[in-house]
A and B are shown apart, each in its own frame.
Chain A
Amino acid sequence: QVQLVESGGGLVKPGGSLRLSCAASGFTFSDYYMSWIRQAPGKGLEWVSYITNTGSTIYYADSVKGRFTISRDNAKNSLYLQMNSLRAEDTAVYYCAQKAGYFDHWGQGTLVTVSS
């Protein structure tokens, strides 16, 4: 069965950096577009970024453009999100999700807290 496991979250100071990882299993990772979606505490869902299966095309939400970088390693069945210049408003649970379009499989999420 499809399994997505995020890691790398934690507490970081404003202006700091963090790299999230998502380990995928149970499907042919290299066949699928992948996405990051976040949810601030007590708030709704916000799509962050997606990457095509080959990594050739990438899109970002305006709120993270220029600060976040999505990437993948198909040989390691892994998805990444490099987050730089972090702000308090980036505090959220970050989910990786299979596909781009509607999201039929999600990880359990990893919490990123940006605070001094």
Chain B
Amino acid sequence: DIQMTQSPSTLSASVGDRVTITCRASQSISSWLAWYQQKPGKAPKLLIYEASNLESGVPSRFSGSGSGTEFTLTISSLQPDDFATYYCQQYYTLYTFGQGTKLEIK
């Protein structure tokens, strides 16, 4: 099974900050990686697919990069609505999610 490890588990930041979340796969997954945002009591929302493709309607301050085993999600300038939990997910072999990164207000 492919394991996905996100870091950090918790991230404290301020509005306007640039933040980066990292996701590492236990083996190469090419670019078969997605990122989601989840707010309390809500279903996850797709942000990025195929490592770097922005889902329609998602603000351009979100970007994804990487391939193989290391990936990043970057938010260029944090907005109040961005404080949430973020998950990566591989779909190279079935599906595995990372454990999540909670983005908190500093």
Q: How far apart are A115's CB and chain B's nearest CB, in angstroms? A: 21
Q: How many A residues touch B, CB cutoff 8 Å?
A: 19
Q: List chain A residues, Cβ under 8 A from B95.
A: 35, 47, 50, 100-101
Q: List chain A residues, Cβ under 8 A from B36.
A: 45, 103
Check if A101 sits within 8 Å of B91, measured CB to CB.
Answer: yes
Please, what's the 1-or-0 string for B31-71, where 1 marks a CB less than 8 Å from any CB in chain A? 01010100000111110011000010000000000000000
Please, what's the 1-or-0 string for A44-76, where 1 marks a CB less than 8 Å from any CB in chain B? 111100100000000101100000000000000
Check if A104 sits within 8 Å of B46, measured CB to CB.
Answer: yes
A 75-110 contacts with B by CB, 8 A = 95, 100-104, 106-109
Q: List chain B residues, Cβ under 8 A from A100.
A: 91, 95
B72 on the A face (CB < 8 A): no
Please, what's the 1-or-0 string for B74-97, where 1 marks a CB less than 8 Å from any CB in chain A? 000000000000010101001111
Chain A, Cβ-Cβ closest to B33 = A102
Check if A102 sits within 8 Å of B49, measured CB to CB.
Answer: yes
A 8-52 contacts with B by CB, 8 A = 35, 44-47, 50
Give Cα A95 to B55, complex, Å. 20
Q: How far apart are B52's CB and chain A's nearest CB, in angstroms? A: 12
Check if B43 sits within 8 Å of A95, measured CB to CB.
Answer: yes
Q: How far apart are A43's CB and chain B's nearest CB, in angstroms? A: 9
**Which of B36, B43, B94 has the most CB atoms of chain A within a 10 A radius of its CB?**
B43
B99 on the A face (CB < 8 A): yes
A interface list, Cβ under 8 A from B: 35, 44-47, 50, 59, 61-62, 95, 100-104, 106-109
Known: A95-B44, A103-B36. 12 other contacts (CB 8 A): A44-B98, A44-B99, A45-B36, A45-B97, A61-B94, A100-B95, A101-B91, A102-B49, A104-B46, A104-B49, A107-B43, A108-B42
